[in-house]
Amino acid sequence: MTVVRPKDRRPVPHREREVPRHETRARPVRLKDVAADTAPDAAEPAAPGLGATVSTGSRRGLDAFAFFVANLQTGFGPFLAVYFSQAKWTQSDIGFALTVGSLVSLLGQVPGGAFVDAVRSKRFAAGVAVVAISGSALALALWPNFLIVLLAMAAHSAASCVLTPAIAAISIGLVGHARAGERLGRNASFQALGNALAAAGMGACGYYLSNDAVFYLTAALVAPTLMALSYIRADEIDANVRTQEPPPAQAGGSALRTLLANRGLLIFAGCMVLFFLANAAMLPLVGSALTLRASETATVLVAACIMVPQAVLAVCAPAVGRAAERYGRYPLLLVGFAALPLRGLLLAYTTNPYLLVAIQVFDGISASVLGVMVPLVVSDLTRGSGRFNLALGAVGTAMGIGAALSTSLAGVMADRLGSHAAFLGLALVGLCAFLAVALLMPETRRSPEPG
């Protein structure tokens, strides 16, 4: 006996095709497979950006990729200064090498974002950046002469300017706008874990082996990083549909004019300048205060000041992402920005070294919020423009400008007025940033489009 379906009038036996049990459990469903194996009326694709099916392999691959990328980047943190000092570099040469990296990072944000927008495969862009960072670490270990170091620092910074927007594009491309907050929060959590574990592992490596070994280890991390990237399925990213419309054929000047005409984006970039103007110099000032008040344990306490925010970030970031989808972006931005002036005020009136460490919890709160909100708000404000990564690079440049000015501003205040006045001055700038968000920043979350 056969059953006739009225839409295609095709006789279909009851046992036309049996799918092996292991196949239904192990292999993720793809639209082309569904179209081939079922009738046309059963192959309804999920609406882009509204929670289309993503395989477990892609989700776990992105988790691991975020973790190992953080491992890679940790090798270029404080270990650089230790490595250069061991190589008998002068402080002026060390400062110049670090400045080259900072300048390339500042100037490369917008071109890096534009490159990710232009490249069709976001995985390819991320893979190239990872290889460049690994190659930079290997060059530092093998040829620590001045010219090679400058080139390696420039290559690392340029690759980082591509890697950050590429990860954001892959993340939002996988899950769509409707679940982007939760995904970005999960990324931030794995990155915080990666930073913490890498710092411990590389510190032990430098102590028991040599400072060169830190960079050999950093270079070797390219293998698990690329392996994790390979688990993210390219056909599930579909970034041109879910994170943005296909970018229109515009000249570079026209694209920048489009961003400059985006009022919400300009307000957000201004808020981020003020935030980093207040935030970037606080930890160095805390380090100086700890050195004066507890010289014997200063190193341990400074390490604790770094670890506390990372622990808060790892725990809180996924919850921040979920809350952003439930309650909107604006309330969470208020919480993240409010923690900054409160932290500065507490630091100004606290003399106990251990309380200074405890106050760093507020830094973790701000980091948890902004780690998720920056790419999420930029995605909201540029949705449909095809300029998500370019805009993300522009906001990154604004953040870099604020951070660069922060240390100079705090240094002048500390030298002339003392650290107490410097903390109060930074808290005042942080209050201005909070008021800018409260009074000017719009809610950017959009209601999900019906699928």
Q: Which residue has the tokens 């698990």?
A: 224
Q: Which helix (H) or strand (E) holds 78?
A: none
CA–CA–CA angle 102, 150, 280 (5° rounding): 20
User: If phi over 0 gives left and psi between -120 and 50 gives alpha, with beta otherwise, what is residue 49?
Assistant: left
Dist. CA 420–CA 433, nearest whole Å: 20
Contact 175, 129 (CB under 8 A): no
CA dihedral (37, 42, 47, 52) positive or negative: negative
Closest C-alpha among 22, 188, 108, 96 to residue 393: 108
pLDDT tens-digit series, residues 50-101: 445 678 888 899 999 999 999 888 877 667 766 776 777 776 777 778 778 8
- How does strand 11-13 pair with strand 2-4? antiparallel
Question: Among candidates 131, 151, 127, which has minimal Cα distance to 140?
Answer: 151
Superfamily name and number for 54-243:
MFS general substrate transporter like domains (1.20.1250.20)
Phi, psi of 113 (to 5 degrees): -65, -40
261 three-class SS: coil
Q: Which residues of the chain have pLDDT under 50?
A: 1-51, 239-246, 249, 251, 449-451
Q: Are 243 and 392 in contact (CB under 8 A)?
A: no
Under a CB-based contact definition with an 8 Å cutoff, are residues 158 and 195 in contact?
no
> Which residues, including other chains, have CB under 8 Å from residue 221's CB and lie 6 or more apart?
68, 71, 72, 75, 134
Rounded CA Rg of the chain:
24
Q: Which two tokens stand for residue 340?
A: 């900054």
* Cα–Cα distance for residue pair 418/348, rounded to 1 Å: 10
* Two tokens, residue 101: 């990296």
Enumerate the domain spans of the chain: 54-243, 254-442
Phi, psi of 43 (to 5 degrees): -100, 65
Rounded Cα gap, residues 349 and 422, in angstroms? 12
Rounded to whole angstroms, the Cα distance separating 99 from 84 reads 14
H or E stretch at 11? strand 11-13
Model pLDDT, residue 438: 95
Q: CB within 8 A of 360, min separation 6: which ones?
A: 283, 286, 304, 305, 308, 309, 343
The predicted pLDDT at position 224 comes to 94
Helices (H) and strands (E) in the chain, counts: 22, 2
Q: What is the DSSP string of 187-231?
A: HHHHHHHHHHHHHHHHHHHHHHT-HHHHHHHHHHTHHHHHHHHHT
- In angstroms, the CA 145 to CA 148 distance is 6
The burial class, CB within 10 Å (0-12 / 13-18 / 19+), for 233 is middle
Same topology between domain 54-243 and domain 254-442 = yes
Looking at 3.90.79.10, 1.10.10.10, 1.20.1250.20, 3.40.50.1220, the CATH number of the domain 254-442 comes to 1.20.1250.20
pLDDT the model gives residue 295 = 65
Contact between 42 and 74 under an 8 Å Cβ cutoff? The reply is: no
Give the number of other CB atoms < 10 A from CB of residue 415: 10
**Do 114 and 397 form a contact (C-beta atoms < 8 A)?**
no
Q: Which of 208, 258, 197 is nearest to 72 (CA)?
A: 197
pTM passes above 0.85 = no
Tokens representing 201 are: 């592992």
CA distance to 63, 133, 135, 314, 397, per residue, from 104 (Å):
28, 14, 17, 29, 11
Residue burial 118-134, b: 16+ Cβ < 10 Å; e: rest: ebeebbebbbbbbebbb
pLDDT for res 54 = 76
As a whole number of angstroms, the distance between CA 285 and CA 411 comes to: 9
The pLDDT value recorded for residue 88 is 75
Q: Look at residue 14 and give its three-state secondary structure.
A: coil
| Residue 368 pLDDT | 92
Angle at 95 between CA 306 and CA 214, to 5 degrees: 55
